Amino acid sequence: MKQSAGRTDTKMAEVTFAEELKQVPKSTKSTFLRSHQLKYDGLLVLVTLIWGSTFLVVKETLKLTGPFTYLALSYSVGTLALALIFHKRLLRITRLEVKSGLTIGIFLFAGYALQTTGIQYTTVSKAGFITGIYVPLVPLFSFLFLRQRPTLKALVGVTLSVIGLCLLSINNQFNLEFGVGEALILGSALAYAMHIIMIGKFAPSADAINLAIVQLALTSVLSFLVIPIAREPFVLPPLPVWGAVLFMGVADVAFTLLAMNWVQQFVSGTRATLVYALEPMWAALTGYLLAGDVLSLPAWFGCGCILLGMIVGVIHVPFLKKKPFSSDLLPE
């Protein structure tokens, strides 16, 4: 009985949208779809703007506290914020939502743990572009774990991203520069790709808010557990860190994850992933303007290849895909 109630909460919006679409006259249907696409796309663009701008915030914050202390506090704030706002819905959480949230949350924790640790040893711009490799990896991982055959354009996207990663690791003297930081960030990209896949798999059959709360809670708990293992001093961080923790907990953690889980009930994974490709651009912009990041000439070409790989991997390219284009407003 409880499980069916949990499904109804998330499916209700899809049913309402489908019924509303049927009532729209054919002459105005394209305008109706475009207005909804703009709304969902706009929300996802805001998500990527927050993601991209927080690379610099995190890098500066980690000069004052440890990565897992920062993660534990930020995700505790995010969990508490959502739990207080949606406490009535949380009381109706089902076993399916708990199980699904824990499964997705493992990849969320892995992604943030690797990224937050790795960003200490590389630049904001590099971290942003390497993280963005998860975009073309999503269709490839869908084949490996969900048996969904990747299209030719997905393979082209992955190839371009690999070439870009190699170029990004070369300095102006054409020496290879791929250290611990870059390796950890690459690992986080792999985890984020799996996170996107798991959201697409479980979100349609679970309440988006409850799913987000479980993921945040798990990440917070795991971060607290890793603090002694990472030998971080278990002390309260200085006052400046708390401002970053509150901002990250509410905006970067609670809001973005909730928005992802909600929007991906209506928008195809392909379209959502295309918008997510904006993240490294915001990261590079903030890194250049606020942190003075300077990339080598080969690295800039590498960034271009990665960005092109993201776009090619998810947009409709007629000569790379024979299947006709379908609406992106409905889940795949």
Domain positions in the chain: 41-315
pTM of the entire structure?
0.73
Report the mean per-residue pLDDT for the chain.
Answer: 78
Six-digit token pair at 111? Answer: 């992604």
Name residue 176's beta-bridge partners.
Answer: 170
pLDDT single digits (tens) 50-90: 988 888 888 888 888 899 999 999 999 999 998 998 999 99
Please, what is the angle between helix 67-85 and helix 239-247, to 10°?
Answer: 50
Residue 184 has pLDDT above 60, yes or no: yes
Three-state DSSP class for residue 86: coil
* HSE-up (13 A, CA, CB side) for residue 219: 34
Q: In this model, does residue 15 exceed pLDDT 60?
A: no
Q: Give residue 330's pLDDT.
A: 42
Question: pLDDT > 90: what percent of the chain?
Answer: 22
| Statement: residue 261 has pLDDT above 80 | no
| Chain centroid to CA 245 | 19
- Render 9-67 in DSSP notation, one character per residue: HHHHHHHHHHHHHHTS-HHHHHHHHHHHHHHHHHHHHHHHHHHHHHHHHHHHHTTTS-H
Beta strand spans in 177-257 (E): none
